[in-house]
Amino acid sequence: MKQNLFVYNTLTRKKEQFEPLNAPHVGMYVCGPTVYSDVHLGNCRTYISFDLIFRYLTHLGYKVRYVRNVTDAGHLEGDTDEGEDKISKKAKLARLEPMEIVQKYTVGFREVMKIFNNLPPSIEPTATGHIIEQIELVKVMLDNGFAYEVDGSVYFDVEKYNATHDYGMLNGRNLEELLNNTRTLGGQQEKHGKLDFALWIKAKPEHLMKWPSPWGVGFPGWHLECSAMSHKYLGDQFDIHGGGLDLVPTHHTNEIAQNVACCGKNPAKYWVHTNMLTVNGQKMSKSLGNSFLPDELFTGNNHILNKGYSPMMVRFFMLQAHYRSTLDFGNEAMEASEKGFKRLMTAFGLLGGLKASGANEYDVAALKQKCYEAMNDDFNSPVLIAELFEASRVINSVHAGKLKLDVENIELLKELMNTFVIDVLGLKDEHTENEELPKVLDFIVKLRNEAKGNKDYATSDRIRDGLQKIGFQLKDSKEGTTWSKV
């Protein structure tokens, strides 16, 4: 399906028409999690955003290879050689093998992704599985003269690189600005320039995760794995490179420099960045202590939360904001969103029972077109959702007999809802009743209607109120009584 898709590119700070390098194939690389602790909700937002993008591109018919790495090699805590590897530190404290830590949080991360109904990426490469590739890249950078070795460590020479390339192309800053604003940190004696960053770091004897290299035993620098793995699986140049907005100034800037230094090419055509999830206006992050874990959200077991929210509801809440806007987390907003989500899914559930009529009073095709226009405008899920609420209104009206749709339009409406609610937004109905439950409820409803028929309202209300308490709501209408889970 040919669509006029526009994508905001951080490189140009503009929305650009999406034209894959090798259509119908699309290569997308997204910076994944560092698996030294539980993934928090802010991280989840980024992966839900890219899942939306992955799903939409796939829906449009592109053959997407979606690569999302798992950073399991551990990064330094500070910009110093004294910094301790995060994974090693945790391992020592817990007296576990580093890879045990990695395994635990990798498994946890994948579980959370599944709970949020994120599709698995095509490839999830690990940093430790690509040490050789990373070493190879360092060799190339040394050969090309953009890197230098000092006592078993290798650094990238930013000023030399910038003499022939634009180091600040992604964050829009020139080198002078960057040099003037870099704080003086300890442990930089080995570096030739203030902005130089490590490609390979000499390991101290107590360091747990380390590998042999041409420069001695050490471990890869913080930005190298993404260059190595994106290059290995997607080539010199691919279509989309994504990640959180906070990766722009350092991680992605350095990544571009590495790839250019190796292959002479900016690795990605479109750089896509998702904005932060905030709590009371502040970025959610581990270090600020305002982050919370998915499980706390589901159970409501957190001092910020009034109650728990279901995973699909949270996903819906996040998709109600555009991925490039900050999204502030709050109970009131969540509760409002929850009601909206139920409204949407209730309408979705009515689709199967809609009765076609000879006449047709609504142009579903036009609404469908609006849905595509929303998504084509830089994956504007909030506008798409607004259109889906319009679709819900249509469904409810037809259900109530107040609006007529012919067979063709009803089919179109079903297709529209299935496409956008299920396939593109990745939402699903969470009701998990067993097979007998509907039968039991139908039987109770039948008993109640008998009481109602006898004008025994005391009994019929008792049944209705009782079911309400258990969590089932009865709705009377001319066509009969329906029930739904609250």
Q: Which of residues 114-153 bind RNA (CB under 7 A)?
A: none
Q: How far is the CB of 51 from RNA (least distance, A)?
A: 13
Q: How far is the CB of 362 from RNA (least distance, A)?
A: 10
Supply the DSSP symbol for 258. Answer: H
Q: Is 236 in the site for RNA (CB under 7 A)?
A: no
Q: What are phi and psi of 71, to 5 degrees?
A: -85, 105
Supply the DSSP symbol for 327. Answer: E
Going by their DSSP bridges, the two strands 238-244 and 268-274 should be labelled as parallel
Q: How far is the CB of 143 from RNA (least distance, A)?
A: 26
Q: How far is the CB of 39 from RNA (least distance, A)?
A: 8
**Residue number with CB closer to RNA (269 or 273):** 273
Q: Is 355 in the site for RNA (CB under 7 A)?
A: no
User: Of the candidates 336, 365, 407, 437, which one interacts with RNA according to CB under 7 A?
Assistant: 336
Q: Is 400 in the site for RNA (CB under 7 A)?
A: yes
Strand partners, 377: 6
Q: How far is the CB of 74 from RNA (least distance, A)?
A: 10
Tell me which stretch binds RNA (CB under 7 A): 54-62, 383-391, 405-413, 417-425.
383-391
Q: How far is the CB of 439 from RNA (least distance, A)?
A: 21
Q: How far apart are CA 379 and CA 49, in angstroms?
A: 9
Q: How far apart are CA 48 and CA 116, in angstroms?
A: 8
Ranges within 412-451 binding RNA (CB under 7 A): none
Q: Is 326 in the site for RNA (CB under 7 A)?
A: yes
Per-residue contact track with RNA, 191 to 230, x per CB under 7 A? -------------------------------x--------
Q: How far apart are CA 52 and CA 46, in angstroms?
A: 10
Per-residue contact track with RNA, 87 to 116, x per CB under 7 A? ------------------------------
Q: Is 371 flagged in the annotation as binding?
A: no
User: Of the candidates 325, 369, 418, 454, which one interacts with RNA according to CB under 7 A?
Assistant: 325
Ranges within 245-304 binding RNA (CB under 7 A): 245-247, 249-251, 274-278, 281-288, 291
- Which residues, 6+ apart, have CB-to-CB distance to 463 below 8 Å? 444, 447, 448, 451
Q: Is 25 flagged in the annotation as binding?
A: no
Q: Is 173 in the site for RNA (CB under 7 A)?
A: yes
In the three-class reduction of DSSP (H, G, I as helix; E, B as strand; rest coil), residue 329 is classed as: strand
**Residue number with CB closer to RNA (82 or 177):** 177
Q: And the tokens for 117?
A: 């109904």
How many chain residues interact with RNA (CB under 7 A)? 92
Q: Is 31 flagged in the annotation as binding?
A: yes
**Residue number with CB closer to RNA (382 or 466):** 382
Per-residue contact track with RNA, 35 to 54, x per CB under 7 A? -------xx-xx--------
Q: Is 397 in the site for RNA (CB under 7 A)?
A: yes
Q: Is 390 flagged in the annotation as binding?
A: no
**Residue number with CB closer to RNA (237 or 459):** 459
Q: How far apart are CA 250 and CA 227, in angstroms?
A: 14
Q: Is 19 in the site for RNA (CB under 7 A)?
A: no
DSSP symbols for 142-211:
HHTTSEEEETTEEEE-HHHHHHHS-TTTTTT--HHHHHHTPPP-SS-TT-SSTT-EEEEEEPPTT-SS-B
CB–CB of 3/61 below 8 Å? no
User: Of the candidates 6, 59, 65, 79, which one interacts with RNA according to CB under 7 A?
Assistant: 79
Q: How many CA atoms lie within 13 A of 291 on its CB side?
A: 18
**Residue number with CB closer to RNA (144 or 396):** 396
Supply the DSSP symbol for 316. Answer: H
- Asked if the peptide bond before residue 24 counts as cis, ω within 30 degrees of 0, the response is yes
Burial, 363: exposed, middle or buried (Cβ in 10 Å; 0-12, 13-18, 19+)?
A: exposed
H or E stretch at 349: helix 331-350
Residue list for the binding site for Zn(2+): 31, 226, 251, 255
